[in-house]
Every structure is written in structure tokens, then in C-alpha cells.
Amino acid sequence: MWILRSNDEAEGGPYTFRMTPGRVRTLGRGPRADFVLDAALVSRVHCRLVVADGELVVENLGSTNGTFVNDRQVERATLKAGDRLRTGRVELTVSAE
């Protein structure tokens, strides 16, 4: 299982999201997102998270303000424990259990 967790000061947060194998989830501020962030700079459907073959992958979905991993803008990236995923002003730290 993968866990994405914000700090207590995150805009609209704190947030904790769990990802299990074989699951696909969207992250955004709109009601169609699976994981909702109550933050102004997050697109309605901002990015997609996928767990496959034991890896957690993030894919940007054409968001206005971009998706960042460890302060680097990405369209697609494989996440590792300790990585920081940022959408808008919300930063989520990745951990594995």
C-alpha cells in the first residue's frame, strides 16, 4: 500500500490518501476527483495515480498549474517513498507500507 500525506498546514488540509495495488484514482478539487483537495490552484481533475507492478505512478491530466515531483514539473513519473508530489500549493509526501 502507498500513502500520500500532507503536512498539517496544507491549504484545505491536512490530507491522507491511500493507494492499493490495481487501483486508479484521480486527484483534483472537483467533485469528479476520487481524492479531493480543497485548494484554489488545483485543477478540477489534476492528475491520475496508478498502482501497477508494485509501483506508484502519477500522470498529469492537462492541469493548468502542472504536477511536480520533488520540485520538478512532470507529465508522468514513478514515485518512490520519500518523494514529494505537489499540485497547486498542496504538497503530499509519499510513503510505502
Q: 95: helix, coil or strand? A: strand
Mean pLDDT of 48-64: 96
Read off the pLDDT band of 8 (50, 70, 90): confident
pLDDT, tens digit, 9 for 90 and up, residues 31-53: 999 999 999 999 999 999 999 99
Q: State the CATH number of the domain containing residue 41.
A: 2.60.200.20
Domain tally, the chain: 1
pLDDT on residue 35: 97
The percentage of the chain sitting over the pLDDT mark of 70, rounded to a whole number, equals: 100
Query: Is the pTM for the entire model greater than 0.75?
Result: yes
The range of the structural domain enclosing residue 71 comes to 2-96
Asked whether the predicted pLDDT for residue 12 surpasses 90, the reply is no
Closest CA to 22 of 3, 49, 59, 47: 49
